Amino acid sequence: MRPNICVVGMGYVGLPLAVAFDAEGYNVTGFDISPDVVRTLRGGVDTTGEISDARVESSDITFTDDPAAMDSAEYVVIAVPTPVDEVYRPDLSYVEAAGETIGEHIERGTTVVLESTVFPGATEEILAPAISRTSGWSAGEGFYVGYSPERAVPGDREHGLHNVVKVVSGGSEAVRDDLADLYSSIVGAGVYRAPSIEVAEAAKCIENVQRDVNIALVNELAALFGHWDIDTHSVLEAAGTKWNFHKYQPGLVGGHCIPVDPYYLIHKANRDGYTADLIETARDVNNRVPERLADMTLAALAERAERVGRTVQATTAREGTAETALATNGGEAALEEPSMVVFGVAYKPNTDDVRSSAIETCISLLRSAGVSLAAYDPHVENATIERQFNIDAQEELSFEGFDAALIMTPHREITEYDLEGIRSELGDQPVVADPHAVFRHEGTDSQHAFEYVTL
């Protein structure tokens, strides 16, 4: 008979995991502290957009917010958020709270597996003591711990749980091998047996540190080439003709992984007396990109104001000082807020995820500078847009009458438009900001003047 498994946290990691175990015949409990999430899942609705309503509805998973359901679990898998706070310190309160709750309910001999991103050592330094506090048992005696980092990529069905190698570790070789057998039953790509929990924890962190550092490099190059008035994308295309050139593009780094995970290594390094200079510098470079994009866009709006004979107040995002671009219109100066429509607010194309969105920083800077903003995202609910970004949301995308357009998230729907079509809907001599260079190959030749801005 298959063992009982309780998955703690029914988010984009936990729910697919619970569904996968259920499909293989395990007795699965899906626990979440949110009654609303539990109620929705019981109604057969996929709350993550990663599975499907049909798979949730047809499953035999017991969804609950009652921690007593952990009593019968032989394995408890934790998939809870591990964010950073406002000063970029790791916040492991969710892991600690989960551990304390688990300790109150599990039976002796239960194996507890953490999937959330943490710094090396956290499973045994933070999670295990939390379980011990409420259970009264020691790790390795009354209960066992393991670590198997999630590798989910929201919106990427090609690289789901079944198709990506699972790194597995345990507090002992026996625990690791037992967990390897468990995960092998749901992961077609196979498992990798890490020699220790710390190795698995570190491996998870550096997967995203590597991407962050490489993206920071091209963002730094984009700023440098912009200073020299050299087209960054042309440079990258030329360099990319060499077989061993790694292809990255400049852009905003958002989400809950790449801009978060490096701080876990930075925290551990600083705590232990080491400064991770390169990792810290990469974070600083990428954190400045929203500011740079806002500055470039504001500068283009100021130039537009001079061209069309208007007076527009704009604020330089970096300095935070008001600068007024003055022009005359019939000999009289007039103050007018420039208007802009933003296409896309999700941090990643073709998803509805707005968590840790660098886009929010850019929008806030533009709004503070006096730009009147509206947004449209075909994947994000309007209520979420208005609540998260404090701007009006459009029911249908319209560029009509706006002074500028900002193509922030290149969702697939933007391919329905072309640069000239967008320009023709916008107002006189508009600005089109396209940080991901979606329309770069269309050129900016037009019988009507407009400013094209890209990173």
C-beta pairs of 364-368 under 8 Å, 24+ apart in sequence: 365/290, 365/291, 365/294, 365/315, 365/317, 366/294, 366/297, 366/298, 366/317, 366/340, 366/406, 367/391, 368/315, 368/317
C-alpha 44: how far from its chain's center? 26
Q: Quick one: pLDDT at residue 317?
A: 52
Distance CA 263, CA 244 (A): 29
Spatial separation of the C-alpha atoms in residues 145 and 113, rounded to whole Å = 6
d(CA 439, CA 405) in angstroms, rounded, equals 13
Contact call for residues 436 and 293 (beta carbons, < 8 A): no
Question: Considering only CA atoms, which of 405, 373, 219, 375 is closest in space to residue 300?
Answer: 405
For residue 360, the SS3 value is helix
Report in angstroms the alpha-carbon separations of 316 from 97, 320, 373, 430, 454.
43, 5, 17, 19, 18
CA dist 373 and 342 (Å) reads 7
Instruction: Per residue of the chain (455 residues), give pLDDT as tens.
Output: 789 999 999 999 999 999 999 999 999 999 999 999 999 999 999 998 888 999 999 999 999 999 999 999 999 999 999 999 989 999 999 999 999 999 999 999 999 999 999 999 999 999 999 999 999 999 999 999 999 999 977 767 777 888 999 999 999 999 999 999 999 999 999 999 999 999 999 999 999 999 999 999 999 999 999 999 999 999 999 999 999 999 999 999 988 899 999 999 999 999 999 999 999 999 999 999 999 999 999 999 998 888 777 544 444 555 443 343 333 333 333 346 899 999 999 998 988 888 766 899 999 999 999 999 999 999 999 999 999 999 999 999 999 999 999 999 999 999 888 888 898 899 888 999 999 999 987 765 544 578 899 98
Q: What is the pTM of this model?
A: 0.88
What was the pLDDT predicted at 447? 47
Give all domains of the chain, ordered by start, each with its CATH number: 4-195 (3.40.50.720), 205-283 (1.10.1040), 288-453 (3.40.50.720)
Buried b (16+ CB within 10 A) or exposed e, 91-114: bbebbbebbbbbbebbeeebbbbb
Q: What is the pLDDT of residue 271?
A: 95
Q: Active-site residue numbers?
A: 257
**What are the φ and ψ backbone dihedral angles of 423, each rounded to 5 degrees?**
-60, -40
Q: Which two tokens stand for residue 431?
A: 């600005």
Q: DSSP assignment, residue 69?
A: G
Query: Given this model, what pLDDT does residue 310 score?
Result: 54
User: Beta-carbon neighbour count of residue 339 at 10 Å?
Assistant: 17
Distance separating alpha carbons of residues 416 and 412, to the nearest angstrom: 8
Point out which residues pair with 329 in neighbouring strands.
332
